[in-house]
A and B are shown apart, each in its own frame.
Chain A
Amino acid sequence: MIECRGIHACVGNFSLRDVSFVIPAGAHAVLTGPTASGKTTLLELIAGALTPTGGEIRVSDVDVTFTAPELRSVGLVPQHGYLFPHLNVRQNMEYGASDRSAVSDVARRFGVDHLMDRSVASLSGGERQLVALCRALAPRPTVLLLDEPLSALDVSRRDAALRQFALLQSESALTVLHVTHQETDTAFATVRLEMADGILASVGVTQT
């Protein structure tokens, strides 16, 4: 579960104002909105990269507003993946995982198990995104934040990845907040959020 209560934040000249919403445990929420509307800022606040100037952030019913990122159990797939270039694919995926079988499991689910010994530099854009997804999933976070994680994938691989998310969520209480510009990515969404110019313009439940 992710809950934001009256979040305010400033990043340079940009400000996020009075953002409040609740995403129930196990839900797949999509966050849409124009460029520079505050979507990435909101993810960074929930992940702990930024501290809000006001309001409260709760993850799994715990106030994490001022909690260090490593203690939040929040996984993050940033927009460009940010795979560690000095580590190979396996080392990237095992980076935060305490259980290596979890790494093998997510690698198999997302079809990247054949890439394990490759260097990061040799991967295509889509492969990088899938490896970044697996790296974030391997530590088994309770919340996963995705910042346009499937943008470099072709339609069939994107659909396959979304189906894997749906499957993962049916097996666990993983809560997903997914920033996207792709309408097709909303197929499995149960909550829809829309940002506009630093405020939450709309919240809707699309499925139950």
Chain B
Amino acid sequence: MRVVVGRFTLAHGAAWVLGAALLLFLAVPIILLVVLGAAGIGEALRDHETIAALEMTFGTAAVATVLAALCGSPIAYALSRRSFRGRTLIAAVVDLPLLIPHPVAGIAILLLISRNTTFGSALLDLGLRVVGTPAGIVAAMLFVSAPLYISAAREAFARVDRRYEFVARTLGDTPWAAFRRVTLPLSRRGLASATIVTWARAVSEFGAVVVLAYNPKVVSVLSYDRFTTGGLRDALPIAATLVLVSLVPLIALRALRYDRSNEAVS
């Protein structure tokens, strides 16, 4: 039997309740964190260790994002445009980091770059120490965030009708010129969105970073460190700061998506 109240069915009611419960579960802890931690944010921002952690977080996340964009854009473009042998395998490799727990990702990177490995010792010979340095943080952030960049950039390129590129080729452009003059400008909002998501993911990374570089501390590691040594009261201001910082890319993303709703690419 279907219970109907006006146009509102019991199924509608259940859907609303379930959806509202999940929304509350997502929002309330974060709101509590910000409200309860807000009083200490000012003090946290005068703390040298917090400032150093914020600088380290933003700097390493920026480097990881630039690397993801530089190295990931060709992969994203190839996956969106080309059919080639091994395409499925490459797509699977790109998605793999999304499926494994992040501390495991950290251990996997450690296996590659620790001083006991050929690659790790070669890096040391070149004077590049990775474990326990900002380079290690960048490596961890890159590993977990690059797949997001590639996925979003692939979608951005796929949204641009390939006939635009072909028309550019008939007008004298080489493949690179057509990419630079047509595809890139037409996918710029999607690529900007991909960059923001990548940076935000890198900033919030903890599991892989903590394995590769507990020190120097990024904000997520610092808040965990304060939690284990001083409890919730010490961790709250830093955690609240991190949440507020995370709102910046969220707002930027919303602005880009609003802008894109008026964009006709294909």
B contact residues vs A (CB 8 Å cutoff): 161, 163-164, 166-174, 181-182, 185-186, 264-265
The yes or no answer to A192 lying at the interface (CB within 8 A) is: no
The yes or no answer to A96 lying at the interface (CB within 8 A) is: yes
User: Can you show 13 pairs from A to B with CB atoms below 8 A apart?
Assistant: A49-B166, A69-B166, A69-B170, A75-B171, A76-B170, A78-B163, A82-B164, A82-B167, A84-B186, A95-B181, A96-B168, A96-B171, A136-B170
From known contacts A85-B265, A86-B185, infer whether A139 and B171 are also in contact, taking CB-CB under 8 Å. yes
Nearest CB in chain B: distance from A180 CB, A: 19
Residues from 46 to 86 in A contacting B, C-beta threshold 8 Å: 47-49, 68-70, 72, 74-76, 78, 82, 84-86
The yes or no answer to A121 lying at the interface (CB within 8 A) is: yes
> Which A-chain residue is minimally distant from B164 (CB atoms)?
A82
- List 18 other contacts, CB 8 Å, given A47-B166, A84-B167, A136-B170: A47-B170, A48-B169, A48-B170, A49-B166, A68-B169, A69-B170, A70-B174, A75-B170, A76-B170, A84-B164, A84-B182, A84-B186, A85-B186, A86-B185, A95-B171, A96-B172, A121-B264, A139-B172
Residues of chain B contacted by A95 (CB below 8 angstroms): 168, 171, 181
Residues of chain B contacted by A48 (CB below 8 angstroms): 169-170
- Interface of B, helix, strand, loop or mixed by DSSP: helix
The yes or no answer to A135 lying at the interface (CB within 8 A) is: yes
Residues of chain A contacted by B161 (CB below 8 angstroms): 82
Q: Select B186's contact among A78, A86, A96, beta carbons within 8 Å.
A: A86
A contact residues vs B (CB 8 Å cutoff): 47-49, 68-70, 72, 74-76, 78, 82, 84-86, 95-96, 121, 135-136, 139
Query: Roughly how many angstroms separate A194 CA and B170 CA in the complex, as a whole number?
Result: 25
> Which A-chain residue is minimally distant from B169 (CB atoms)?
A69
7 closest Cβ contacts across the A-B interface? A96-B171, A69-B169, A76-B170, A86-B185, A96-B172, A82-B167, A49-B166
Residues of chain B contacted by A86 (CB below 8 angstroms): 185-186
Q: Which of B161, B166, B167 has most A Cβ within 10 Å?
A: B167
Residues of chain A contacted by B265 (CB below 8 angstroms): 85
Nearest CB in chain B: distance from A99 CB, A: 12
> Which B-chain residue is minimally distant from A49 (CB atoms)?
B166
> Which B-chain residue is minimally distant from A120 (CB atoms)?
B264
Whether the Cβ atoms of B163 and A85 lie closer than 8 Å is no
Whether the Cβ atoms of A70 and B170 lie closer than 8 Å is yes
Whether the Cβ atoms of A135 and B264 lie closer than 8 Å is no
Query: Roughly how many angstroms separate A121 CA and B265 CA in the complex, as a whole number?
Result: 11
Residues of chain A contacted by B169 (CB below 8 angstroms): 48, 68-70
Residues of chain B contacted by A68 (CB below 8 angstroms): 169, 174
Residues of chain B contacted by A72 (CB below 8 angstroms): 170
Nearest CB in chain B: distance from A60 CB, A: 15
> Which A-chain residue is minimally distant from B182 (CB atoms)?
A84
Nearest CB in chain A: distance from B156 CB, A: 14
> Which A-chain residue is minimally distant from B175 (CB atoms)?
A68
Residues of chain A contacted by B164 (CB below 8 angstroms): 82, 84
Nearest CB in chain B: distance from A46 CB, A: 10
Query: Roughly how many angstroms separate A76 CA and B164 CA in the complex, as a whole number?
Result: 11
> Which A-chain residue is minimally distant from B262 (CB atoms)?
A121
Query: Roughly how many angstroms separate A86 CA and B164 CA in the complex, as a whole number?
Result: 11
Query: Roughly how many angstroms separate A96 CA and B172 CA in the complex, as a whole number?
Result: 6
Nearest CB in chain A: distance from B181 CB, A: 8
Nearest CB in chain B: distance from A71 CB, A: 9
Nearest CB in chain A: distance from B111 CB, A: 44
> Which A-chain residue is minimally distant from B167 (CB atoms)?
A82
